[in-house]
Amino acid sequence: MEVPTLNKPPYCVFCEIINGAEPARIRYIDNDIIAIVNKLTWVPVMLLVMPKQHLTQIELWTSGIMERMGTTAVNLGAMYAPNGFRILSNFGYDGLQSQNHGHIHVIGGTYLGHYA
């Protein structure tokens, strides 16, 4: 019988991807950052750029890794959506953040329209 631990972190699909326990289509990886294809497909290009270390969204944006992640996101956007793209970040429930592992979205590959 497995004894539950009180300090076990909650399940994080992004951590599982980083650890190789869940599949993903990787578009970039280095010692600190990974970029994967999002499973959502409402636009042709949907990439997620995230730190390998589990950080909350606020921790991510206030950490030193954000500049490198931004550069990675811009480079991937230019490569996969050369006619234009958006870089987005969602914070909290009202901001539609669905994963607690901090990340940014690169979306494009089609005309994205005006903001609502």
Of 111 and 8, which is predicted with more confidence? Answer: 111
pLDDT score at 3:
47
pLDDT in tens, 98-108: 788 899 999 99
Which sign, positive or negative, has the C-alpha torsion 56, 34, 32, 21? positive
Q: Is 11 a member of any domain?
A: no
Q: Is 49 a member of any domain?
A: yes
Q: Is 17 a member of any domain?
A: no
pLDDT in tens, 69-99: 999 999 999 999 999 999 998 876 765 677 8
- Residue that the structure tokens 């995230």 belong to: 50
For residues 33-38, average pLDDT: 96
Of 40 and 68, which is predicted with more confidence? Answer: 68
Q: Is 34 a member of any domain?
A: yes
What's the domain count of the chain?
1
Q: Is 8 a member of any domain?
A: no
Q: Is 80 a member of any domain?
A: yes
pLDDT score at 94:
65
pLDDT band at 114 (very low <50, low <70, confident <90, very high): confident
Q: Is 14 a member of any domain?
A: no
Q: Is 54 a member of any domain?
A: yes
pLDDT score at 71:
97
Listed in order, strand segments (DSSP E) in the chain are: 26-29, 33-37, 45-51, 85-88, 104-108
Expressed as residue numbers, the domain containing 63 is: 26-108
CATH code for position 63: 3.30.428.10
